[in-house]
Structures are given as C-alpha cells and as structure tokens.
Structure 1
Amino acid sequence: MAVAAPISPEHIAIVKATAPVLKEHGVTITTLFYNNMIAAHPELKNIFSMSNQTSGAQPRALAAAVFAYATYVDDLGQLSAAVERIAHKHESLNVQPEQYAIVGKHLIEAVAAVLGDACTPEIGEAWTAAYTALADIFINREKQLYAAHENWQGWRRFQVQQKVPESSEITSFYLAPEDGQPLPSFLPGQYISLQVFVPQMGHMQPRQYSLSEAPRSDYYRISVKKDKGKKPEVPGLISNLLHENYKEGDVLELTAPAGEFFVDPKDGTDKPIALISAGVGLTPMISILNSSVNSGSAQRISWIHGVHNTEVRAFSKHIHDTCAKDVNNNINATFFVTSPQQQDVQGVDYHFTGRIDLSKVDPKTTLFLDDPRAEYYTCGPYLFMRDVEKYLISVGVDPKRIHLEVFGTGDE
C-alpha cells in the first residue's frame, strides 16, 4: 500500500478516541454527507450508484469504512486489502484527484454538523489531517493504475456485437470497441465498469460487471443477470435496462478492466485452484477457467457452483464440455441445486441438493486440502462468500489463500 502523509501523534490520538462517536453517528453523518455533496455537485450522480443511495447501502458502507479507518489509523496495513479494492473501483469509475477535495470538504462538514458543539476545532483539525493522508494514498495508487492503461483514459464507446442468452436469467453481451482498436489484455477475474443513460433519472449510471471470457483483443464479454431485486418493486435498474432496452448494434461506454480479484498466469500453473460460486457469481470463474484451458495449462481446477435450479444456471454445457475434453482429468465440476427439476439426473445435472455445503465434497480431489499451495476463489452473495471463507479457515486453509470478489457495498 502507498505510504500516507504523516499524521501527528496528537491527531492520531484524537481520531482513535473519537472512533466510537463516529460509529454511533456514522450513518447519520454519511447520509448527510452524500445528500449535501450530490446537491452541490450533481455531476457526481454519474459516479455513485443512486440505487445504493436510495436504499441506504452506500451510507452504511461508508460509515463502516470511516470507523475502520479511525480504528486502524495508526496501523493502515490492516486496511491494505480494502484500500486496494476501493482504488480499483475508483479507477474503474474514472475518479480524479480533484474530486477528493470535494469529498473531504463535505465529509468534514457533515461530521461537524452532526456532532455540533462536540466537534471541537481540535477534532475537526485531526479528522481533516487524517482524511488528507488517506486521500493521498488513494490518489497515488490510482495514478499507478491509470498509468497501466495510458492508451485508454476515461470512458470508451463500445458496440453490442452479440447478445446471447445463457440461461433463463443470464444473457451475455459481446462488446466490441467502436474505434476498432485492439483491446488491452486483463487478468482473468477482473471486471469493467459500464455506464448507460437512465431516462427516469436523467443522467448516466455506472455498474461493474465481471469479464466472463478469457482475454481477447477484439471484444470483451460480460454476462448479466436480469435482477428482480431484493424487493419486487425495486428491480435491478441497470441489468434490466441492458436486458430490455439494449440490442445488437447499440452503443454503451466502458472503462478499462480493473479489480484486485484475479488469477495471475505469471504465478505459474502448478498450484491447484478451487473456483466456488453461487448464481451469477460464476462470471469471473468462467474467465479464469477459460484462460487456463486456452493456455494449455495442466493446472488442477475444481469448479463448484450452486444455483436455485438448472434452468437459471448459465454455461452448463460449456462446463460439461470443458470437463469432457480434459483427458488428464485435471478439471472437475461439482454442482449444487437447491430445487432440482423433474428431468434433472443426479450425478449428471447436479451432484448435491441444497445450497453449497463444502463439507459434502471430497476434501482432497475437490477442495485440495492436502495441498498447501491451493488457492480458493469465491464469488456470489456477500454472506455466501463469508460462509465459504469461514469453512475453509475452519479446515486449516490460510486466509491469505482465500480470495473474495466483493462488489458494491458488501451490504448484501
């Protein structure tokens, strides 16, 4: 992680001492912060998910992040993974250095407004210093990330080349650059940010989607679930727009691939990997799997996937075909189905009923628990990923070998 600008011991002591107060009033502060900042700078609506603003997920997530920062302000190494994840997200949204000053101004003002007289000049000064130090970390790291894509800055126009249904819920979009220039490669597991105009809002809205194919120079592929939403009256805004309104030939905008969740081919292919996903969480796993197969690797790969039923499961034929073509039996697939359909055959269409339960699979051939080099990648609902992580740790897997793809706010 980049080195922060020095914060005085006095400022550190004040920030840590006020952490409990920030935790108590955190959501009130962050809600006021977002409301005031976006009212003063409506152009920032194009960066923030307004759905997460409406639901309160974004203020809750920021409140938790502010409390974590206050807690570890004297030991920022504890936050390195979170900082890296957020820096990649900022890069994908084309966040610029000058925007940190806007955020800092409104955040400190919100702290002062909520705490009232309790926010003394000393507290305000300490938090301003702490924010400035954190902003410097992000600005410097994001500068490095932008430099890696020096030939692609900001939003780039792409055309929907193909639109292919993968299941009753998931459709793949093949996106080709409108300018016809070769696309940069990416690391399998990474994502792109996509932005579209939302008529009912009157402005652009961004979302992140994992790339669901091995790197290519002519197109990127994303596979999008038509999201009914947690509440039927609030369906997934962008996913529904893509499914219903965008057809082949239409144009949308992307930023360069980003994300700290990936398998780096340079790490070698001698380490077995377990790809554990639920629902549409299989999209980065497809990229990882296809990249390994395309490279001719003999890497041992375990594909573990869970869905509600086989009708909604994407890429089933592709997974079966990939395993069948693997003459060395280095790739194996295990399917969990909560509610098998009448025509499904156990052992073919699925292996276990119910949600993913790693205690049911073979600990050696499927989870590679006898190999201390094995790496574990999981993607799906946040609580599902935490359960996977908890189980793997309980059976002796080093947490450093467990990788979670946390999109959005981690509030699910």
Structure 2
Amino acid sequence: MNPSTPESAPQALDIAIIGAAMAGATLALALAKRAKALGRPLRIALIEAHEQGSGHPGFDARSIAIAHGSVTELKRLGLWSLLAPLGCAINDIHISDRGHFGMTELNRDGFDLPFLGQVVELEAVGQKLLAAVKDAGITIYCPDGLRELASDSDGHTLTLESGVRLRTKLLVAADGLHSRVRECFNLPLESRDFAQCGLVANIGCDRPHGHWAWERFTDTGPLALLPMQDSAGQHRLSLVWALPPEEAERLASADEALFLSQLQRAFGSRAGKFISVGKRHVYPLKLSFMPRPIHHRCVFVGNAAQTLHPIAGQGFNLGLRDVVDLLQVLDSALVAGTDVGEHSLLHHYLELRTDDRNQTLCNIEALVRGFSNQYWPLVAGRSLGLRLLSWCPPLKAPVASRAMGWRRGKRLSENC
C-alpha cells in the first residue's frame, strides 16, 4: 500500500508515525478524528514494516489486558467501539503466592464497576485497527520501513526502504523495543535483565472461567491466566508464565501432557483442569526504557519508549497514557493551526509523562524482584502484604488504581 513512487519529491506531512501496532495505530486514528472534528487539515502518514498476518510482532498470538481506565480513555477517543466485540471482561482478580499464606482478591463489585478490564487478542485487534486506518483515509506505507533519517531545524526527511521520501514536522516513534528511529538518532536505552522468559500460550480448560483472572507468584516468577472468549465451544485462558530461560524452552517444546501437568502443578486447581494448550511462544523478559523519550521534533511512545515485564499487565496501558498525553499537548497546535513539532510542546509532553512513567517503571521492577525472590524475609513480607489487602479493603484502592489504569491524582469514581 504505497501511495507514492520512489521517484516523487518528498511528500509534505505534519506528522509521520513509525509503527502501526497498538500505540501507533491508536494515535493515528485519534489524531484523524480530532482534526476532522476541528475542521483542520492534518497530513498524517503511518509507516509499518510488517504486513498484517505476516508475523507482525505487535499483533502476534498474545492477548493483553486493557485496564478499565484505558477502556474509558478509548471510549473518550471514540475507538473502543472498534475493539469492544473482541473483549472478554475481567470481573474479578485472584492474587496468590504459591506455597505461602498470602492471597487477596480485587472484585468489580468492590469498586462499583462493570468490569476491571478487558482481554483482547492482539491478532484480531490488528485486523480491526488496520481496517479503521484505511477507512479513515490515513496514508499508510506498508510493508515499508525507515531506511534513512535526515534532520534540520524545521523537521525530518525520511527515506523509506521502498525509496519513498517523506518530509515531516513531527516524527512519532511507535516502532517497538528495537526502534529504528532510536537507532538512527543513536539515543540511549537502559534495561534491567530479570533472567526470565515469558512462556505464552492459550489454554483450554474443563470449565468456564467466570470472568476471573489469576496472578500466582511462584518460585520461578509470576504466572498469570486471563479469561478469553470461548472458541469452538472451548473454555479458554491466556497464559503468561515467567520462567528461567532454559525452563521456558524446555516447557515450550515438551509434549502436551507433560506441559499441562507441569502447569497444573505450578498453578493449582482454582481455574479447573487444564485440558489443552495451543501454540507456545517464548519471549525474553526485560525492563527497557529511554531515560528521555523525546528528541528534536520527535516523540517516542509505547514500547519504543519503554518495554515492561508483564507482571502487572501494564504495557499497553502505560503506552496508551503516552498516546493520550501526546494528544493533549498537540491539541493546542491543532486548534490554532500552528507547528505540531514545536519544542515547547514536546517538553510539555515530557513533563506530563515523567511522574507516571517513573512511578510505573519503579513499581514494576519492585514487583518483579520482590515476587521472584525466595529470601524468607521478603516472602514473609509479601505474604503479609497480600493478607493485609484482604483484611483491610480500603488498602486495595491505591493498588486497584494502578492495576486498572487510573491516572495519577484521580479518584476511582472519576473514571467509573
């Protein structure tokens, strides 16, 4: 889908977005809707290296949990209606520490909510978002990637792998952990290696999940099961299991009976009996982040800015907050018809993101290290902490606020 030819002059743009997975496609659609509402012309291009259905890393076999607060934001942006038919509600969450007394629950009724989150399958989401991008008339170059990047005071000139050249005032990098944009600018990326891999698969169960999600902390790391829509009459759960790399590879290649027995032993019987497993995938688990996710006329969002361990299911939810804050700072330029790449806007974006981003990154690292450690004082402390949440429900509010995607400083009721 390349709407121009390599021989043409650079196409003039206001915003070029590299990466058309969840963050990039959501941003493009929200910008197009806002520009249309304002009656302002906005020249947007979306550049994506992978064709839909060809192993796109942003729309693969995984499922993700979209927190209640994120669903609220997507509704406000007019985008949730695209994804709602794909969602499976999380109404209750059970959290436990295997082999220890600590456990607690988060329940929708306790917060007077219709649900705590929604689980969607990324491959199906990709199809919906790509169709919406086409319907919105957004220029998309796919499959095509960034080959060269030249910058000056007024913007960037992009040369794509196809030879197409684009000229943009603002460049948004939504191209994931191995960002080509970050590579072109030679910008730093810090990381924390947890020496774990995530084993991901869809699990068939002998009974309905009842819209429960489970997070179980084991001696190798967290094990999460998310409810999924039934398929062909089968009750399904989405598994993310943090394991040492060699153990993850062993279980990924184990026969089905052995895998299911090992999973049942690690998790227990709260979800019923596991009876089948789909294709298994293994991903390295690291915490990676850019210390400063802006550059000259360039903003990094989603996994290009930070990639999280899945322990708290916050990856897309944090990335969506990147998108929402970027939309907020760009809105003044859209209303006034001024330069969308002006440096004061980008610094305003950085100010908006700093506290939320830093707090989330610190919380994730503390959770991973605290719940993947068998040092007995830590075990006793985390078990007591989980019990306190059960014994004293008011203590759950700040935990729920983070888990369900409420923004900094907001009360629970403000997003209900």
| Both structures adopt the same fold (TM-score exceeding 0.5) | no
TM, length-normalised to structure 1: 0.28
Higher relative contact order (CA 8 A, sep 6+): 2
TM, length-normalised to structure 2: 0.28
